[in-house]
Structure 1
Amino acid sequence: MQLGPYIEHTLLHPTVTKNAIKKLCRQAIQYRFYGVCVPECYVALAQNMLTEHPIKVIAVVGFPLGNQSTVAKVCEAKHAILLGASEIDMVLNIGFLKSGLFDKISDEIAEIKKAIGSRSLKVILETCYLSDEEIELGCKLAIKGNADFVKTSTGFGTAGATLEHIALMRRASKGLLKIKASGGIKDRATAIQFISAGADRIGTSNGVQLVL
């Protein structure tokens, strides 16, 4: 199996440098990854390096906690697109989900999707903090908000993706959403397991290790 087309090569930690982003992009070109996932402040740099290559630049919004205001998330998403991002990964407001503020969540997703138009929107559920019922509900709210994907994790929570959660998200999405597995995927065998379980994309900072 060729894993390159599944991989969103990711670098989001707080100390990431300009040179590290350049290296990330060079690796994405070398190994023909689907895209790179970077903080908004590095979107323009990544886009400039990848402009002659069919590699997407993915930006994160409301990252990593998800509890910013909707206005702030929409503004961040619009600016990331202006800088050259092709896709947006937004963090769902977990506190709102646990508070039963479901309309606020779906409305927020819908506003961000409207702001970015035809570009793909992924909703990060941060599954390590959610029950199975909450994961299922998060998928339903993502569908209601017209998102394109649901994603397991930021990589900053207490745990990353699990095969069980991917299968649950696949069932709950009923073919209306694609699935991105992220968090803790560090080798080829594990990545293949997640794809077999239903993941359409793999988000990882270990992309090179997955394809070697």
Structure 2
Amino acid sequence: MTGDREPTRAALAALIDHTLLRPEATSAEVRDAVTVAIRFGCASVCVQPAMVPVAVESAVGRVPVCAVVGFPHGANLSETKAVEASGVVAQGAREVDMVADLSALADSDYSAVSSDVARVRAAVPHVVLKVILESALWNGAQLEAACDAALAGGADFVKTSTGFHPSGGASTAAVSLMSERVGGRARVKASGGIRDLSTAMEMIDAGASRLGLSATESILSELD
């Protein structure tokens, strides 16, 4: 899906983590999100840890459930993140999106960043692990180093943003840099501020192979 070629709805949906991360989201809203993810054939439905049982029960295996960990600030102790990750996986989550230690990134303490990721990786060795870097916070060299640290800890994906940080969400420049940096060693998830088909396609063309979207229905409706 590159250039001017328009994707099929199914092909684009297969790259989407349909996301509902508002802290006040109700059980009914989570069940609705699962229904949307199933209807369109999304890669996963991504929810807060406390809502994993609701999502898993509603999904009944028809769409993978993804849970965030250390969200949204990444400021939890590594042990806490590991326990949280183990807990959501025990409840049925098949993917984990963890927030990196942003303070360690700001201090350029990349060994601490990789150790934090590694602690979670060891706790959930058999699930897809995405590491959120808050890419809008960093210059190019810092973002490259952040990608390296995440991969050293065992990340399967590096992810741009939580969508909750005031620095902003995904940018094509960040996605392109991250994609080039990780090469074939990992994949890139773009999230935060992707609200229309044009932006979604720009992120894919820049190198993203997964998109975190809350506007899934409206974006896919542009392909009608």
Same fold (TM over 0.5): yes
Question: Do the aligned residues in 1 keep the contact of 2:101 with 2:116 (CA within 8 Å)?
Answer: no
Match of 1:30 in 2: 39
- How do 1:57-206 residues align onto structure 2 when only pairs under 5 Å count? 57-158=65-166, 159-206=168-215
Task: Note the residue ranges of structure 1 that are not aligned, 5 or more in a row.
Answer: none
Question: Do the aligned residues in 1 keep the contact of 2:68 with 2:98 (CA within 8 Å)?
Answer: yes
Corresponding residue SS for 2:136: helix
1:116-141 Cα deviation digits (max 9, x unpaired)? 11211000000121121111011000
Question: Do the aligned residues in 1 keep the contact of 2:18 with 2:45 (CA within 8 Å)?
Answer: yes
RMSD: 0.9
**CA distance in 2 between partners of 1:101 and 1:139 (Å):** 13
Corresponding residue SS for 2:14: helix
Q: Percent of aligned positions with the same letter in both sequences?
A: 36
**CA distance in 2 between partners of 1:139 and 1:102 (Å):** 10
**CA distance in 2 between partners of 1:107 and 1:34 (Å):** 28
1:19-72 Cα deviation digits (max 9, x unpaired)? 11011011111111111000000101111111241x110000000000110010
**CA distance in 1 between partners of 2:37 and 2:47 (Å):** 12
TM-score for the superposition, normalised by structure 1: 0.97
Give runs of ≥4 in structure 1 deviating > 3 Å: none
Corresponding residue SS for 2:208: coil
Question: Do the aligned residues in 2 keep the contact of 1:10 with 1:36 (CA within 8 Å)?
Answer: yes
Question: Do the aligned residues in 2 keep the contact of 1:3 with 1:210 (CA within 8 Å)?
Answer: no
Aligned length: 211
**CA distance in 2 between partners of 1:130 and 1:174 (Å):** 19
Name the aligned partner's letter for residue 56 of structure 1: P
**CA distance in 2 between partners of 1:84 and 1:52 (Å):** 9
Corresponding residue SS for 1:3: helix
**CA distance in 2 between partners of 1:38 and 1:52 (Å):** 15
Corresponding residue SS for 2:200: helix
**CA distance in 2 between partners of 1:100 and 1:180 (Å):** 23
Cα deviation for residue 192 of structure 1 reads 1.2
Over 3 Å counting, the alpha-carbon distance change for 1:52 and 1:103 in structure 2 is: closer
- How do 1:201-212 residues align onto structure 2 when only pairs under 5 Å count? 201-212=210-221
1:187-206 Cα deviation digits (max 9, x unpaired)? 11211111111101000100
Corresponding residue SS for 1:203: strand
Corresponding residue SS for 2:97: strand
Corresponding residue SS for 1:59: strand
